[in-house]
Amino acid sequence: MARITQDHIAAHNDKLQRHVKNDYETLGEQLARRGVDIETVRAQVAAYGVAIPSWGVGTGGTRFARFPGQGEPRNVFDKIEDCGVIQQLARATPTVSLHIPWDKCGDWSELRQAAAAQGLAFDAMNSNTFSDQKGQGHSYKFGSLSHTDAATRAQAVEHNLECIAIGKELGSKALTVWVGDGSNFPGQSHFRRAFDRYLDSARQIYAALPGDWRMFLEHKIAEPAFYSTVIQDWGSSYLAATALGPQAQCLVDLGHHAPNVNIEMIVARLIAAGKLAGFHFNDSKYGDDDLDAGSVSPYRLFLVFNELVAAAHEKVAGFDPAYMLDQSHNVTDPIESLMSSAVQVCRTYAQALLVDRAALDAAQDANDAMTASQLLKTAFQTDVTPLLQRVRLDAGGAIDPVACYRASGYRHQAAEERPAVQGGGGGIV
C-alpha cells in the first residue's frame, strides 16, 4: 500500500506554517522571561522517542466483545506499514515492539528490511505465555512460568528463549516478560512456592540473555487472575529483578496499579534502586483500561515525567528507561490514537523540562509546599503546542498529524486493500 506522500504533508503544513512560526516565537519569549531557552528544550524533545506496540495498530476490545475496524492489519507486515505512517506524521515513534507469536513471520530479515524502509527499528520483544496457541502441547490455564507442572514451565521458558532468538535477528535489545499467572480462589495457590517456581523459570531465561540485553519484568495487580497474581506489584517485580541480576529491571505500566497508588513515587524508588526498566504508557479510569495516554489523568503523567527529568538532570547512574505506548483502541482509529498519545507523551516531556529545578530544590529544602506545588503547575500549565509543532515540522512530519492523516485517505485505502475482519469475538486484542 502506498505511503502518504511528502507532497501531501507539505501541502497540509503550508497552510499552518506561518502560525507555527509566530506562535513558536511568542512561546520562546515567554519562556525566556522564565530563564528557559526554547531551543534547548526543542532539541531535547526532538531527540525523544516512544515505541509503538505492534498490537496497538489493531482494534482492541474487552473480555466481552471486539468490534473490528476498517482496514485492520492482516499480518506483521501490515502492522509495520501502519506504524510507518505514525512515525511519518508524528515523528516521535522510531521503534516498534513485537509480540510473539502474534507477529511471527517466515523471514525475519525481510521484516527488518521492511521496517527499515519505513524508517523504523525494533524495540523490546514481548513473549506470550498468558494464552494458549494452536498446536501448543501444554495449556497455560493454570499458569506458565510458575505452573505446578514442570513440562508446562519448560514450554514457557522455551518460548521466551525463542523470543530472544528472534529479537537478535531484528536488532532488539530487550525482552519484556509479563505472565498472567496467579489464582482466582483463596487456597488455590501456594504463594511462596509459586513465586519460587517463577524465579526458577525466569533464571533460565535470564541466563540466555545476550550481554547487551535487558529483561523487563512487568507486574499487574489483577487479571486474568483476580485473587492473586504472582508478580502483582512493583515490590514483587523488584524482588524478582534483584534475585535475577543487573540485567533484569522493573517495567511500569501505568494501568497495572492499585487505585490511588502513587505511581510517581514508585518510579522514584525504582530509579534510586537502579531497577527502572521503562514504561508502558496508557491511561485508565477503573482498571487496566489501556486508554490513550493522558486522556484521563494528564497531570499524573506529568508527575511521572517530572521524576524522569529530575533523574536525568541529576545524572543518576545507569538511568536509561525505555518508553512504549500500550493501549487498546475500541472506538477510535488506532493510528489516530497512537499519534495522539505520542504527541501527548512528547508534550508532557516538554512540560517537565520547563520545571525550574533549582527553585524546586530550594522550595523542598525549605519545606515550602505551596511554592513547590506552584512550580510544577506552572510548567504543566504551559502550552507547548508550538514547540511540538515546530519539532514535527523540522523533522518532515505533520504540524497536525491527525488532520493530515484524515485528509490523506489512508484508512479508506487500507479498507479497500485489506479484507474486512469478522467481529463478535472477545478479547483485548
Closest among 341, 354, 422, 359 to 51, alpha carbons compared = 341
For the cut 60, the answer to whether the pLDDT of residue 428 exceeds it is no
**Residues whose CB is less than 8 angstroms from the CB of residue 252 and which lie 6 or more positions away in sequence, other chains included:** 234, 263, 266, 267, 270, 276, 277, 278, 279, 280
Would you state the pLDDT for residue 429? 47
| CA separation, residue 39 to residues 27, 101, 340, 386, 387 (Å) | 11, 43, 23, 12, 9
Mean pLDDT of 194-215: 98
What is residue 177's predicted lDDT score, i.e. its pLDDT?
Answer: 98
pLDDT beyond 60 at 315 = yes
**Is the per-residue pLDDT at 45 higher than 50?**
yes
On the question of pLDDT at 233 being above 80, the answer is yes
Residue showing cell 516531556: 349
Decide: 77 and 108 in contact? Cβ < 8 Å: no
pLDDT at residue 181, rounded to an integer: 98
Q: Is the pLDDT of residue 426 over 60?
A: no
pLDDT in tens, 358-394: 999 999 999 999 999 999 999 999 999 999 999 999 9
Q: What amino acid is encoded at 332 in this protein?
A: T
Task: For 78-127, write each residue's pLDDT tens digit.
Answer: 999 999 999 999 999 999 999 999 999 999 999 999 999 999 999 999 99
Mean pLDDT in the chain? 95
pLDDT range class, residue 162, cuts 50, 70, 90: very high
Using CA atoms in the order 69, 123, 118, 109, what is the torsion angle rounded to 10 degrees? -110
